[in-house]
Structure 1
Amino acid sequence: MQPIAALPESTSRRIGFVLCDIDDTLTRNGFLLAQAYNALWRLYQTGVKVIPVTGRPAGWCDMIIRQWPVDAVIGENGAFAMLRTAGGYDLSLHSSVAGEEVKRKLDGIRDFVLGKISGLKVAKDQAFRWFDLAFDFAEDPPRFGMDTAVKIKELCEQKGAIAKISSIHVNTWFGDYSKLDMARELLSKHYTLTDREQRERVFFCGDSPNDEPMFSYFPLSCGVENIRTFLEVMKNPPSFVTRTSHGEGFAEAAEIILTAHKGTE
């Protein structure tokens, strides 16, 4: 990983899209930091299209697309995208999201995993989810370590589900999709970007193992400093890393892009 300051100005100037994770990328200890929110607004006002790509639930995404300065939001690790319109937003579901039987299957995984790990709970935002199940290993007490997160992931996979580890949750679902799948579909169909344009004009910023597909695909990928916590369990780290952590790190990366764009005004 190179320091984000090494990103060439000529490259930064081409960036027209900033995709980002939310938890521990824009936030710290669950709070959206002022520096990060200010950076979102400045990017939005500059004309850069901002798209959060998160494991958070549909209910949260409904609020985000309505109230944050973003062009779209991808939720539940790629199950859907919400795109801002003059009248609110349009909803686009990934073609492989599970059908009506999904709740029964996820309930079975919930009972199986909770029976294996004493004290573990589902995430408090579970009531607002449409397509996945989130186990809370590090958001609210009692908190568990990465070893437990890996065990949760393995237990979900034993039941035939997809599972990904974020900085706070292990999300599990049925369906052949990911953050990257939905991001590429959105960029291609809605914004008509070719594969080459996606690699040249899209910047992604994240912080945890469930961002690996995005780090792997987008050359202009960046981790906030706290990603170093997870490097030992990652095969595809980002190309760049910030000096500061969490939302301050996102603001640091955004400043590089904003400075380059200011030079074109």
Structure 2
Amino acid sequence: MPFVTLSQAVAAGLFKNIRFVATDMDGTLTWRGKFTPKLLQALENLAAAGIPVLIVTGRSAGWVSGLSSLMPVAGAIAENGGLFYRAGCDVPVALTLIPDLAEHRHRLAQVFNSLKLRFPRIQESVDNRFRITDWTFDVAGLTPADLQQIAGLCRQMGWGFTYSSVQCHIKPLEQDKAAAVLQVLQNDFPQYLPAQVVTVGDSPNDASLFDCATFPHSVGVANVLEYVSQLTYLPAYITAGVEAEGFCELAHFLLSN
């Protein structure tokens, strides 16, 4: 299906009221797995222009706690919606209620072990020990059919499942990026409406951010086209550039409006 390009959307005046950016990180803010000087300058320029950037990533709580204090952003959501770290604050806000953490981690481990019986080659991700709300294993080597089957098995066991270009995530059913962004907007940035937010992503774990019923302005960096057949929702607009180049393209348009 043909997509509306970001440049077409901007030319049509659809970005004139955007005041807030909620963006994925890996494959969206990174270029071949790294942050570039151009990307960091784009984030600095957005902050100076009074356009807050919220990172919404599947990365672990341990990883994101440092990220939110080192990057020129308003904050970061970790574990696909599990926790929120406001810039300059080391203590996270729990977005998913977990009454008993030890029991929660035990149940997640049981689900992973059940999956491993069906897919012996899956490997627990090295960052899993730093996680709170979800459980991760490497996506490498899994086919779309494998991933669809794993998602069904997780649902049968009462858990949610998603994946990115980096990892697979076993998670609470209700936990997703869009719900987390809405919660953070309501509690920490109530001056911004969803219609003033642009959401950005590149892979299936960003799909909820592309739901136009929640966020009418969503952008997929061009590498999202690799996952079109696997996305529940499609982004409203597509950048010309891939990965961080696509995000910088968006930043340029926002700063030029």
TM-score (ref. length: structure 1): 0.88
Please, which of 204, 207, 222 is the counterpart of residue 202 of structure 2?
A: 207
Determine if contact 1:98/1:131 at 8 Å carries over to the other structure.
Answer: no
Matched, 1:76 2:82: no
- Residue 163 of structure 1 aligns to a residue whose secondary structure is strand
Residue deviations 1:32-69 (CA, integer Å, cap 9, x gap): 23332222122112211010001111011111111001
Residue deviations 1:158-204 (CA, integer Å, cap 9, x gap): 2211111222211112252211111101111211147xx221x1011
Determine if contact 1:224/1:245 at 8 Å carries over to the other structure.
Answer: yes
Q: Aligned equivalents of 1:34 and 1:97: distance in 2?
A: 38
Residue deviations 1:117-175 (CA, integer Å, cap 9, x gap): 1321111211211111012113xxxx333333223322322221111122221111225
Residue deviations 1:214-259 (CA, integer Å, cap 9, x gap): 1102111000101111111223101000111111111111111111
- Residue 28 of structure 1 aligns to a residue whose secondary structure is coil
Please, which of 22, 43, 48 is the counterpart of residue 19 of structure 1?
A: 22
Q: Aligned equivalents of 2:90 and 2:188: distance in 1?
A: 13
Which deviates more, 120-129 or 239-248? Answer: 120-129
- Residue 87 of structure 2 aligns to a residue whose secondary structure is strand
Please, which of 148, 152, 155 is the counterpart of residue 154 of structure 1?
A: 152
How far off its partner does 1:21 sit?
Answer: 0.3
Q: Aligned equivalents of 1:237 and 1:212: distance in 2?
A: 7
Distance change in 2, residues 1:98/1:155 (3 Å): farther
- Residue 252 of structure 2 aligns to a residue whose secondary structure is helix
- Residue 233 of structure 2 aligns to a residue whose secondary structure is coil
Distance change in 2, residues 1:95/1:229 (3 Å): closer
- Residue 12 of structure 1 aligns to a residue whose secondary structure is coil
Matched positions, count = 251
Please, which of 19, 40, 43 is the counterpart of residue 40 of structure 1?
A: 43
Distance change in 2, residues 1:97/1:183 (3 Å): farther
More strand by share: 1
Distance change in 2, residues 1:11/1:93 (3 Å): same
Distance change in 2, residues 1:234/1:119 (3 Å): same
- Residue 80 of structure 2 aligns to a residue whose secondary structure is helix
Segments of 4+ moved more than 3 angstroms: 8-11, 95-98
How far off its partner does 1:26 sit?
Answer: 1.2
Question: Which position in structure 1 is the counterpart of 2:9?
Answer: 7
Q: Aligned equivalents of 2:175 and 2:24: distance in 1?
A: 17
Question: Which position in structure 2 is the counterpart of 1:242?
Answer: 239
Question: Which position in structure 1 is the counterpart of 2:100?
Answer: 99
Distance change in 2, residues 1:149/1:98 (3 Å): farther
Question: Which position in structure 2 is the counterpart of 1:112?
Answer: 114
Q: Aligned equivalents of 2:197 and 2:242: distance in 1?
A: 21
Please, which of 130, 134, 137 is the counterpart of residue 135 of structure 1?
A: 137
Matched, 1:64 2:70: no
Which deviates more, 250-259 or 149-158? Answer: 149-158
Which deviates more, 72-81 or 12-21? Answer: 12-21
Distance change in 2, residues 1:167/1:95 (3 Å): closer
Q: Aligned equivalents of 1:79 and 1:102: distance in 2?
A: 13
The runs of 5 or more residues in structure 1 that have no matched partner are 261-265
Question: Which position in structure 1 is the counterpart of 2:184?
Answer: 186
Determine if contact 2:221/2:246 at 8 Å carries over to the other structure.
Answer: yes
TM-score (ref. length: structure 2): 0.90
Distance change in 2, residues 1:164/1:70 (3 Å): same
Q: Aligned equivalents of 1:156 and 1:29: distance in 2?
A: 30
Determine if contact 2:96/2:133 at 8 Å carries over to the other structure.
Answer: no
- Residue 200 of structure 2 aligns to a residue whose secondary structure is strand
